Amino acid sequence: MNLTINIGKLKLKNPVMTASGTFGYGEEYSEFVDLNKLGAIVVKGISIKPKEGNPPPRICETSCGMLNSIGLQNMGVKEFLKTKLPYIRKYDTKLIVNILGNTIQEYVKLSGTLDDAGVDGIELNVSCPNVKKGGMLFGTDKKMLGKLIRTVRNNVKNSTLITKLSPNVSDIREFAKVAEESGSDAISLINTIPGMAINIKTRKPKIANMIGGLSGPAIKPIAVRMVYEAYTAVKIPIIGIGGIMNYEDAIEFMLAGATAVAAGTANFVNPVATLDIIKGIESFMKENNIMDLKELTGGLRC
């Protein structure tokens, strides 16, 4: 039985990864999860300088999901390289670093530094505002997205380059194509969906930043649809994300076109969700006589 999959140059022992921002730097979950068993760890988004994040409350629960606006709190790339990278490198798993910047130059600097440091993959978080372009999001403007990916691509020699697409666009296929044409090795989708919740007694927003990203089972059908649409548009591998709680969800994403999957909010609900998903996929393959997991990708029957 073969669970290995390829994302660009990367060969993963299985298709299960962690979604950025939901698994810390791996260490936080190491008491519960044997990190060696994961296909890849995608760590919390890193910027050049440390970011202190947004004021609390930063999350609230909604029906079958949660809203978050953490504000990209992170320790900055320097501290990451010094303390977190050596820790994860002790484990036999692939390391993918999510990066965020406010200008193309910041992305270039970050990706170059991380590429030099030998990380396996770099995931571009393009849901950040471009400060030089009046706060426009890289991820919702095709021209800007293309320019960002091309420039970063020229500077990344060894790491696999993944673009994490925003669901906040009218046609995901066009953005998937831009990513592919601009040299991204893979795409991951979806990021959270902007949402809002109000406390009717206090009339205040339930999170301090007012608007946050919705994640969890509530967004899964939207994510499956977008993975399917992206799959019809591009040849590069797709990492499916969005409300994956168990192995059934993971397989659903693969049938829609995902090569790999990432569990996010599920880690909060069940700290061993990633391991449960891997075990579940193995049992499913046995029961259904699937010798190679790659068969499932895009296996939807219409």
- Candidate segments 53-61, 151-159, 228-236, 288-296, binder of another protein by CB under 8 A: 53-61
**64 among known catalytic residues:** no
Query: Does residue 287 interact with another protein by CB under 8 A?
Result: no
Q: Which is nearer to another protein, 32 or 135 (CB)?
A: 32
Query: Does residue 221 interact with another protein by CB under 8 A?
Result: no
Query: Does residue 52 interact with another protein by CB under 8 A?
Result: yes
DSSP string, the chain: -B--EEETTEEESSSEEE-TTSSTTSGGGTTTS-GGGSSEEEEEEE-SS-B--PPSP-EEEETTEEEE-----B--HHHIIIIIHHHHHTSSSEEEEEE--SSHHHHHHHHHHHHHTT-SEEEEE--SEEGGGTTEEGGG-HHHHHHHHHHHHHH-SSSEEEEE--S-SS-HHHHHHHHHHTT-SEEEE--PEEEE-EETTTTEESSTTSEEEEESGGGHHHHHHHHHHHHHH--S-EEEESS--SHHHHHHHHHHT-SEEEE-HHHHH-TTHHHHHHHHHHHHHHHTT-SBGGGGTT----
Query: Does residue 240 interact with another protein by CB under 8 A?
Result: no
Query: Does residue 265 interact with another protein by CB under 8 A?
Result: yes
Query: Does residue 44 interact with another protein by CB under 8 A?
Result: yes
Query: Does residue 201 interact with another protein by CB under 8 A?
Result: no
Query: Does residue 45 interact with another protein by CB under 8 A?
Result: no
Q: Which is nearer to another protein, 51 or 173 (CB)?
A: 51
Candidates 6, 13, 37, 53; binder of another protein (CB under 8 A) is 53
Residues in contact with another protein by the rule CB under 8 A: 21-24, 28-29, 31-32, 44, 52-61, 63-66, 68, 70, 73, 216-217, 245, 265, 267-272
